[in-house]
Amino acid sequence: MNPVLEAIKNRRSVRSYEPKPIPKDIINTIIEAGNQAPSRGREEEREGKKTLTFQPWRFVVVEDPEFKQKLLQTVFPIWKKHMESMKETHSEMYEQVMMQYKAMPEPKDMVYHGAPVILFVIGPASYAVSCALACENVIIAATSLGLGSCYVGFGAMVEGDADIVQALEPKDDERIYGPIVLGYPKDEPSAWASIRPKKQAPVIKWI
Protein backbone atom coordinates (compact mmCIF):
# COMPACT_ATOMS: atom_id res chain seq x y z
CA MET A 1 0.00 0.00 0.00
CA ASN A 2 1.06 3.59 -0.55
CA PRO A 3 2.84 4.63 2.71
CA VAL A 4 0.85 7.86 3.03
CA LEU A 5 -2.47 6.04 2.62
CA GLU A 6 -1.25 3.37 5.03
CA ALA A 7 -0.48 5.98 7.70
CA ILE A 8 -3.93 7.53 7.21
CA LYS A 9 -5.61 4.12 7.51
CA ASN A 10 -3.61 3.10 10.59
CA ARG A 11 -4.10 6.36 12.48
CA ARG A 12 -6.13 6.06 15.65
CA SER A 13 -6.63 8.11 18.79
CA VAL A 14 -4.22 6.65 21.35
CA ARG A 15 -5.05 7.14 25.04
CA SER A 16 -2.32 5.07 26.69
CA TYR A 17 1.42 5.78 26.38
CA GLU A 18 4.76 4.38 27.43
CA PRO A 19 6.72 6.63 29.84
CA LYS A 20 9.38 7.05 27.19
CA PRO A 21 10.61 10.42 25.88
CA ILE A 22 10.42 11.26 22.18
CA PRO A 23 13.78 12.30 20.66
CA LYS A 24 13.93 15.99 19.76
CA ASP A 25 14.71 15.29 16.10
CA ILE A 26 11.53 13.23 15.76
CA ILE A 27 9.45 15.98 17.37
CA ASN A 28 10.99 18.51 14.98
CA THR A 29 10.24 16.22 12.03
CA ILE A 30 6.58 16.00 13.07
CA ILE A 31 6.35 19.78 13.53
CA GLU A 32 7.92 20.35 10.13
CA ALA A 33 5.26 18.09 8.62
CA GLY A 34 2.62 20.23 10.29
CA ASN A 35 4.31 23.34 8.96
CA GLN A 36 4.03 22.01 5.40
CA ALA A 37 0.22 22.08 5.53
CA PRO A 38 -1.60 24.35 3.07
CA SER A 39 -2.90 27.66 4.36
CA ARG A 40 -4.63 30.72 2.98
CA GLY A 41 -2.76 33.97 2.80
CA ARG A 42 -2.77 36.60 5.51
CA GLU A 43 -2.14 40.26 4.80
CA GLU A 44 0.37 41.87 7.18
CA GLU A 45 2.19 45.16 7.26
CA ARG A 46 5.97 44.95 7.50
CA GLU A 47 8.31 47.90 7.28
CA GLY A 48 5.49 50.08 6.01
CA LYS A 49 4.56 47.67 3.23
CA LYS A 50 1.64 45.27 3.00
CA THR A 51 2.69 41.71 2.31
CA LEU A 52 0.90 38.38 2.02
CA THR A 53 2.13 35.76 4.50
CA PHE A 54 1.22 32.11 4.95
CA GLN A 55 1.51 29.48 7.70
CA PRO A 56 -0.34 31.49 10.40
CA TRP A 57 0.20 28.88 13.13
CA ARG A 58 2.91 28.36 15.73
CA PHE A 59 3.77 25.38 17.92
CA VAL A 60 4.38 25.02 21.66
CA VAL A 61 5.96 21.76 22.84
CA VAL A 62 5.31 20.79 26.46
CA GLU A 63 7.53 18.13 28.04
CA ASP A 64 8.05 19.54 31.54
CA PRO A 65 6.30 17.28 34.11
CA GLU A 66 5.38 20.15 36.44
CA PHE A 67 3.83 22.19 33.64
CA LYS A 68 1.92 19.14 32.40
CA GLN A 69 0.56 18.63 35.90
CA LYS A 70 -0.54 22.27 36.00
CA LEU A 71 -2.33 21.77 32.67
CA LEU A 72 -4.10 18.71 34.04
CA GLN A 73 -5.15 20.39 37.29
CA THR A 74 -6.64 23.26 35.29
CA VAL A 75 -8.59 21.14 32.83
CA PHE A 76 -9.59 18.08 34.87
CA PRO A 77 -12.54 19.77 36.66
CA ILE A 78 -13.97 20.70 33.26
CA TRP A 79 -13.56 17.12 32.03
CA LYS A 80 -15.16 15.75 35.20
CA LYS A 81 -18.16 18.08 34.91
CA HIS A 82 -18.67 17.02 31.29
CA MET A 83 -18.51 13.34 32.23
CA GLU A 84 -21.12 13.87 34.94
CA SER A 85 -23.42 15.39 32.32
CA MET A 86 -23.13 12.15 30.30
CA LYS A 87 -24.30 9.96 33.17
CA GLU A 88 -27.91 10.07 31.97
CA THR A 89 -27.51 10.63 28.22
CA HIS A 90 -24.67 8.16 27.54
CA SER A 91 -24.73 5.92 30.60
CA GLU A 92 -22.85 2.97 29.07
CA MET A 93 -19.97 5.13 27.85
CA TYR A 94 -19.92 6.97 31.18
CA GLU A 95 -19.61 3.72 33.14
CA GLN A 96 -16.84 2.40 30.88
CA VAL A 97 -14.81 5.61 31.08
CA MET A 98 -15.21 5.87 34.85
CA MET A 99 -14.18 2.24 35.21
CA GLN A 100 -11.02 3.08 33.29
CA TYR A 101 -10.48 6.15 35.48
CA LYS A 102 -10.74 4.14 38.70
CA ALA A 103 -8.30 1.51 37.40
CA MET A 104 -5.76 4.12 36.25
CA PRO A 105 -2.65 4.43 38.47
CA GLU A 106 -1.74 7.74 40.08
CA PRO A 107 -1.37 10.41 38.90
CA LYS A 108 -4.62 9.89 37.02
CA ASP A 109 -4.72 11.70 33.69
CA MET A 110 -7.84 11.26 31.58
CA VAL A 111 -7.21 14.42 29.58
CA TYR A 112 -3.62 14.27 28.29
CA HIS A 113 -3.35 10.51 28.94
CA GLY A 114 0.11 10.74 30.48
CA ALA A 115 1.68 11.38 27.07
CA PRO A 116 5.34 12.48 27.09
CA VAL A 117 4.62 15.39 24.73
CA ILE A 118 1.70 17.81 24.56
CA LEU A 119 1.86 19.81 21.33
CA PHE A 120 -0.16 23.02 21.18
CA VAL A 121 -0.95 24.40 17.74
CA ILE A 122 -1.82 28.08 18.16
CA GLY A 123 -3.08 30.43 15.48
CA PRO A 124 -5.64 33.09 14.57
CA ALA A 125 -9.28 32.22 15.21
CA SER A 126 -10.09 33.36 11.67
CA TYR A 127 -7.69 30.73 10.26
CA ALA A 128 -9.33 27.69 11.80
CA VAL A 129 -9.28 25.63 8.59
CA SER A 130 -5.59 26.31 7.94
CA CYS A 131 -4.64 25.43 11.52
CA ALA A 132 -6.76 22.27 11.43
CA LEU A 133 -4.86 21.18 8.31
CA ALA A 134 -1.59 21.63 10.20
CA CYS A 135 -2.95 19.48 13.04
CA GLU A 136 -3.90 16.71 10.63
CA ASN A 137 -0.40 16.73 9.13
CA VAL A 138 1.06 16.40 12.62
CA ILE A 139 -1.14 13.40 13.42
CA ILE A 140 -0.45 11.58 10.15
CA ALA A 141 3.30 12.24 10.45
CA ALA A 142 3.31 10.86 13.99
CA THR A 143 1.57 7.67 12.83
CA SER A 144 4.06 7.23 9.98
CA LEU A 145 6.93 7.40 12.51
CA GLY A 146 5.46 4.76 14.81
CA LEU A 147 4.05 7.19 17.37
CA GLY A 148 0.58 7.44 18.79
CA SER A 149 -1.38 10.68 18.94
CA CYS A 150 -4.69 12.05 20.13
CA TYR A 151 -6.38 15.39 19.48
CA VAL A 152 -7.68 16.39 22.92
CA GLY A 153 -10.21 19.19 22.76
CA PHE A 154 -10.50 19.44 26.55
CA GLY A 155 -6.76 20.09 26.65
CA ALA A 156 -7.27 23.53 25.14
CA MET A 157 -9.47 24.77 28.00
CA VAL A 158 -6.60 26.25 29.98
CA GLU A 159 -7.50 29.96 29.98
CA GLY A 160 -8.38 29.77 33.67
CA ASP A 161 -4.73 29.63 34.78
CA ALA A 162 -2.69 32.82 34.40
CA ASP A 163 0.68 31.00 34.45
CA ILE A 164 -0.38 28.72 31.60
CA VAL A 165 -1.70 31.63 29.55
CA GLN A 166 1.56 33.52 30.13
CA ALA A 167 3.60 30.51 28.98
CA LEU A 168 1.53 29.88 25.83
CA GLU A 169 1.45 33.63 25.01
CA PRO A 170 -1.82 33.65 23.06
CA LYS A 171 -2.59 36.91 21.28
CA ASP A 172 -6.06 38.44 21.39
CA ASP A 173 -6.97 37.03 17.98
CA GLU A 174 -5.48 33.56 18.58
CA ARG A 175 -6.94 30.30 19.82
CA ILE A 176 -5.57 26.87 20.64
CA TYR A 177 -6.09 24.08 18.10
CA GLY A 178 -5.70 20.75 19.79
CA PRO A 179 -3.59 20.22 21.66
CA ILE A 180 -2.25 16.99 20.23
CA VAL A 181 -0.63 14.50 22.59
CA LEU A 182 2.21 12.39 21.26
CA GLY A 183 4.01 9.30 22.51
CA TYR A 184 4.84 5.64 22.07
CA PRO A 185 1.60 3.63 22.36
CA LYS A 186 1.15 0.86 24.86
CA ASP A 187 -1.67 -1.65 25.01
CA GLU A 188 -4.90 0.13 25.80
CA PRO A 189 -7.34 -1.16 28.42
CA SER A 190 -10.42 -2.83 26.98
CA ALA A 191 -12.61 0.04 28.21
CA TRP A 192 -11.09 2.38 25.64
CA ALA A 193 -11.30 -0.17 22.83
CA SER A 194 -14.96 -0.78 23.55
CA ILE A 195 -15.92 2.87 23.07
CA ARG A 196 -13.84 3.47 19.96
CA PRO A 197 -16.24 4.34 17.13
CA LYS A 198 -16.15 2.23 14.02
CA LYS A 199 -15.42 4.00 10.76
CA GLN A 200 -18.41 4.22 8.49
CA ALA A 201 -18.33 4.08 4.71
CA PRO A 202 -18.05 7.52 3.09
CA VAL A 203 -21.17 9.23 1.81
CA ILE A 204 -20.51 10.06 -1.84
CA LYS A 205 -22.49 11.79 -4.54
CA TRP A 206 -21.13 11.71 -8.08
CA ILE A 207 -22.17 14.46 -10.47
Q: Where are the domains of the chain?
A: 3-41+53-185
Q: With contact defined as beta carbons under 8 Å apart, do 100 and 191 qualify?
A: yes
CA-closest candidate to residue 149, choices 107, 174, 175, 178:
178
pTM of the model: 0.89
- Give the model confidence (pLDDT) of 72-130 as tens digits: 999 999 998 988 888 888 888 888 888 888 877 777 899 999 999 999 999 999 999 99
The span from the CA of 163 to the CA of 160, in Å, is: 9
> Rg (Cα) of the chain, in Å, rounded?
18
- Give the model confidence (pLDDT) of 26-85 as tens digits: 999 999 999 999 998 877 777 788 888 889 999 999 999 999 999 999 999 999 898 888
Average pLDDT value for residue range 158-183: 93
Return the CATH class of domain 3-41+53-185: alpha beta
- Give the list of residues 6+ apart from residue 112 with CB closer than 8 angstroms, or none: 68, 71, 72, 118, 152, 155, 179, 181
